[in-house]
Amino acid sequence: MQTAQIDGTQTPAAPRFLMVEEAGFGPEHPFSGEKLAPVLTVYKASDFDHAKRIASGIYGYMGAGHSIGLHTSKPERAQDLGMTLPVSRVIINQAHCFATGGNFDNGLPFSLSMGCGTWGGNSFSDNMNYRHYMNITRVVQTIAAREPEAETCQATTWRNFIMSDTTTTITSLLDQNATAWESDPYLVDAISGQAMSYGDITNECKVFARQMAALGIARGDTVSVFMPNGVNTAKIIVATMYSGFVVNPINLLCQEKQLAYILGHADTRIVFTTAELEPVVSAALKTSGTQAMVVATAPDAAALPTLTLAPLPSSTDESISASLPALLMYTSGTTGVPKGVVLTHGNLLASARAIASEHLLEKSDRCLCVLPLYHINALVVNILTPLLCGAAVIIDSKFSATHFWQRVQKFQCTWINAVPTIISYLINDENPCAIDRSRIRFCRSASAALAPFHHKSFEEKFGIGIIETMGMTETAAPIFSNPYDPAQRKIGSIGRPSGVQARVVDKQGNPLPPGEKGEILVRGDNVMLGYYKSAEQTEKAFTADGWLRTGDLGYRDSDGFYFITGRVKELIIKGGENIAPREIDEILLAHPDILDAAVVGIDDKHYGQNIAAYIVKRMTTRNDDDLIQDINQFCIRELGSYKSPAAFRFVTELPRGPSGKVQRLKLLEL
């Protein structure tokens, strides 16, 4: 750690330091000359809640590699702050940000240090005011100290700080980007290379809003999108949210019965689809008895479709707030009918800020989107997060192992967003395109558990580090993320809480200490409003004190990293013993003759339940009986006989949802 000297005090020299004060000195002094050269100090807050909101926003923009201080004169707010911001240290003193000693473990999710020192030109005695200021910081990454150029601070850092407090909707964000970066690319077609600038897209969105208003579509009405990936598909989704309507992207894998249910339950007013899918949509609308306009267009069309030739209103005057619903996305689910998750503008941007923060994303970054836009991962990570950063996203129609690396090289992508299925395909591609991968800073994995064997294999084969994350539709994508710094990541862990508070509880809802397994709960600004038209399901999803039940079983370690061991509903109970399917999955995937695998509980007259393994095997000359015997011995050796599968079944592929998650209950239908 590099240090610097302040009034005789040894202090860590951070690359940039951001501070928000509850009782500040006014926004007219955003850059203080009193502080250490590499320090950027920001004062702008009227009260505690305002300061906390700004600090969370700054973390969302600046994140890892930066410290965030939030000062308050009330020590009892320490735990509130510590649970709101993903911090690792609370220091109560005047030399707050620069104190390095005296930390001790107090059982909180951060350490505490008390003392006094100097700050700026003000000196304090050992007993004066030591409780008057409190600073909560998390230094995620320490790198060489440097002073940001004033121009950079003004143009980027200060703008991001201001936007963290004022840009609360997708509408205002796109408008600001169009003003700041009118001609810069936002959405780029992976096949043609044609790029749509922020200015062009914003202008199209304004026309779209007026055309929809002319059709009688009102603020808060549902607009469904049943289309494959493409720049035009992305524009329709963004334009719908920009205009104050609720966009409802629908999974293309839906059968007609499920599609009819979604269109009817969502109260859809208009459906955007393709000419090929229009008959399917029309039939589903008829089945559900829903009256809705159907608009056929192409996913790669150069412009948004013309909806009406009637005179348009001069503008749409209704204001759009952060609390306005922007997205209605139906979960695939394993049983029952789909549930409609309602997410607001504020939910979506809170998630995007956390992603940009965790991955240190900037305007210069580029990503390739191959995941379906009807899934929360692609929509928030690939579309909204680049929008937040003013960056560009290259949109491909679908994933292709043949073209993937070619696209990455052609468009000079700097990061990858993938799911375990894609990572597996890339690992097993015998002839990957030979390209220079040095520009790629990381590969982000989400939506399903990544087997440690695949994690290590990918990094060894391509020299690209993987950041494993975890999220839900109900939380607008990620709620956990491994650190950007490779040295701090833990293979097999979903990471630390990202933009949320998290805890592990027992069946009675009591918080559990590190190492003990239970259900993982979260809460934060990105958590959904609830399930559409389902107060009962919404109530079941939350605890009485407002925590969202993730349905995931797991534990956290002493470093604050979380590990998933299974799903509450997928837990196998064999002879009264709880067995997490994921543990067995990971062992099976380490076998050299297994390409893919998953286990599920099956009825057993002796144990109540036992374990069946469904396996996609690699090309091999071995007969099935010999292979099963070998796999069985492998499992017994690694797991013991009690956790080893009682049955092995070979299949050509595992049933997976659009996010790549194995649909375990469907295994029983094979």
Torsion of CA 303, 374, 86, 393, to 10 degrees: -30
pLDDT computed for residue 659 by the predictor = 64
Where in 147-190 does DSSP place strands (E)? 185-189
**Which ranges constitute the DSSP H helices of 289-430?**
345-358, 376, 385-389, 401-410, 420-428
Query: What is the rounded end-to-end Cα distance, in angstroms, of the chain?
Result: 56
Instruction: Express each pLDDT in 570-581 by its tens digit.
Output: 778 787 677 878
Left if phi > 0, otherwise alpha if psi is -120 to 50, otherwise beta: which for 43? beta
> Above 60 in pLDDT, residue 230?
yes
What's the pLDDT band for 660 if we cut at 50, 70, 90?
confident
pLDDT computed for residue 100 by the predictor = 27
Where in 266-365 does DSSP place strands (E)? 268-273, 293-296, 325-330, 340-344
- Computed over every residue of the chain, the mean pLDDT equals 77
CA count, 13 A, side-chain hemisphere, 157: 22
Contact call for residues 341 and 474 (beta carbons, < 8 A)? yes
Torsion of CA 70, 74, 76, 80, to 10 degrees: -30
Residue 568's CB is within 10 A of a number of other CB atoms, namely 14
pLDDT computed for residue 664 by the predictor = 84
pLDDT computed for residue 543 by the predictor = 96
Where in 207-324 does DSSP place strands (E)? 222-226, 246-249, 268-273, 293-296
Going 561 to 586 to 547 to 656, the CA torsion angle's sign is positive
Name the strand (E) or helix (H) holding 71: strand 67-71
pLDDT computed for residue 362 by the predictor = 87
What's the pLDDT band for 662 if we cut at 50, 70, 90?
confident
3-state secondary structure of 523: strand
**Which ranges constitute the DSSP H helices of 322-377?**
345-358, 376
Mean pLDDT of 304-329: 83
Mean pLDDT of 45-66: 47
Rounded Cα distance between 308 and 301, Å, is: 17
Q: What's the CA angle centered on 543, arms 538 and 549, to 5 degrees? A: 75
Contact call for residues 86 and 496 (beta carbons, < 8 A)? yes
Contact call for residues 92 and 113 (beta carbons, < 8 A)? yes
3-state secondary structure of 12: strand
> Above 70 in pLDDT, residue 637?
yes
Q: Which among 461, 465, 517, 522 is positioned nearest to 491, based on CA atoms?
A: 465
pLDDT computed for residue 48 by the predictor = 53
The amino acid at 2? Q
The amino acid at 180? A
pLDDT computed for residue 656 by the predictor = 83
Model pTM score: 0.71
- Going by their DSSP bridges, the two strands 572-574 and 577-579 should be labelled as antiparallel
Mean pLDDT of 214-236: 96
pLDDT computed for residue 357 by the predictor = 84
Q: How far is CA 522 from CA 154, 474, 549, 558, 564, in A?
A: 35, 11, 7, 18, 14
Calculate what percentage of the chain has a pLDDT beyond 90.
54
Mean pLDDT of 142-149: 27
- Ranking 303-307, 330-334, 399-403, 458-462 by mean pLDDT, the lowest is 330-334
- Going by their DSSP bridges, the two strands 135-137 and 89-92 should be labelled as antiparallel
What's the pLDDT band for 37 if we cut at 50, 70, 90?
very low
Mean pLDDT of 343-348: 96
pLDDT computed for residue 56 by the predictor = 53
Instruction: Express each pLDDT in 242-297 by its tens digit.
Output: 999 999 999 998 878 889 999 999 999 999 999 999 999 999 999 999 999 999 99
Residue 383's CB is within 10 A of a number of other CB atoms, namely 22
- Ranking 84-93, 185-194, 267-276, 311-320 by mean pLDDT, the lowest is 84-93
Rounded Cα distance between 609 and 356, Å, is: 43
Q: What's the CA angle centered on 464, arms 459 and 470, to 5 degrees? A: 80
Q: Which among 517, 526, 474 is positioned nearest to 498, based on CA atoms?
A: 526
Instruction: Express each pLDDT in 354-387 by its tens digit.
Output: 898 889 888 999 999 999 999 999 999 999 999 9
Per the DSSP assignment, residues forming a β-bridge with 496 are 481
pLDDT computed for residue 605 by the predictor = 72
Q: Which residue has the tokens 């200490």?
A: 513
pLDDT computed for residue 360 by the predictor = 86
pLDDT computed for residue 203 by the predictor = 95
> Above 80 in pLDDT, residue 437?
yes
Q: Which among 211, 278, 199 is positioned nearest to 245, based on CA atoms?
A: 211
Is residue 184 classed exposed, middle or buried when 0-12, 13-18 and 19+ CB atoms within 10 A define those classes?
middle
Rounded Cα distance between 378 and 375, Å, is: 6
Tokens of 270: 């208009």
Q: Which residue has the tokens 């955007």?
A: 272
The amino acid at 334? T
Going 214 to 220 to 221 to 227, the CA torsion angle's sign is positive
Tokens of 27: 């926004």
Q: Please name each of the domains of the chain with its CATH number.
A: 3-165 (no CATH), 170-556 (3.40.50.12780), 571-667 (3.30.300.30)
> Above 80 in pLDDT, residue 144?
no
Question: Using N-to-C axis directions, what is the helix angle for 345-358 and 170-180, rounded to 10°?
Answer: 50
Calculate what percentage of the chain has a pLDDT beyond 70.
73
In the sheet where 392-395 sits, what is the strand order?
195-197, 185-189, 392-395, 366-369, 415-418, 442-445, 466-472, 477-481, 496-497
Q: Which residue has the tokens 């334009």?
A: 239
In the sheet where 594-604 sits, what is the strand order?
594-604, 608-617, 647-650
